């Protein structure tokens, strides 16, 4: 029952639109339903990165947390958004911290194990890279906008 509904959720998500059924199945097989309480750290800058999260309800702050400074919120993500891509590249560690701003219901997918097949299965690799590259690009844009805003 759970598997069926996960399949439906992923299948209907704009991010995965147009993906082959077998690839969606691979994602579903690596997916679990998760819940976070307000203030929970979903992942933390510098920690090993493995999974990505599809937010179903609630808001998540993507923050820069660094020595000497207060957490700096780069952007807020919400229902339908995807967070987490650092599992794609060495050193496979989170670049940001994701913090739950309320109760979060999400689907967590083991991207690293899914994409372990990317090198053999270029159809899968192409589809995933195309989607996640765009997410990274979106973060670069957000960072740049902040940079312009705070630069003296």
CB of 138 to another protein, least distance (A): 9
Q: Which of 72, 82, 104, 109 binds another protein (CB under 8 A)?
A: 72
The yes or no reply on residue 130 touching another protein (CB under 8 A) is: yes
- Count of alpha carbons within 13 angstroms of residue 34, beta-carbon side: 20
What residues between 73 and 112 interact with another protein by CB under 8 A? 88-89, 95
The yes or no reply on residue 143 touching another protein (CB under 8 A) is: yes
Q: Is the distance from CB of 136 to CB of 96 less than 8 angstroms? A: no
Please give the size of the binding site for another protein, defined by CB under 8 A. 34
Distance from C-alpha of 141 to C-alpha of 77, rounded to nearest angstrom = 15
Q: Which of 37, 66, 92, 103 binds another protein (CB under 8 A)?
A: 66
Q: Which of 9, 15, 41, 129 binds another protein (CB under 8 A)?
A: 129
Could you give the angle at the alpha carbon of 139 between the alpha carbons of 134 and 144, nearest 5°?
A: 125
151 φ, ψ to 5°?
A: -60, 135
């Amino acid at each position: 029952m759970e598997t069926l509904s996960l399949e439906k959720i992923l299948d209907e998500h704009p991010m995965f639109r147009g993906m082959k059924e077998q690839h969606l199945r691979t994602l579903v097989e690596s997916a679990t339903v998760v819940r976070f309480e307000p203030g929970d750290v979903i992942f933390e800058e510098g920690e090993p990165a493995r999974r990505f999260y599809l937010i179903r309800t609630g808001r998540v702050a993507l923050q820069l947390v660094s020595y000497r400074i207060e957490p700096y919120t780069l952007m807020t993500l919400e229902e339908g958004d995807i967070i987490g891509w650092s599992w794609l590249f060495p050193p496979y560690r989170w670049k940001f911290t994701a913090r739950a701003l309320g109760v979060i219901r999400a689907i967590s997918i083991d991207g690293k194990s899914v994409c372990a097949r990317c090198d053999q299965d270029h159809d899968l690799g192409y589809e995933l890279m195309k989607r996640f590259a765009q997410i990274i690009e979106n973060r670069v844009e957000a960072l740049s906008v902040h940079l312009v805003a705070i630069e003296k």
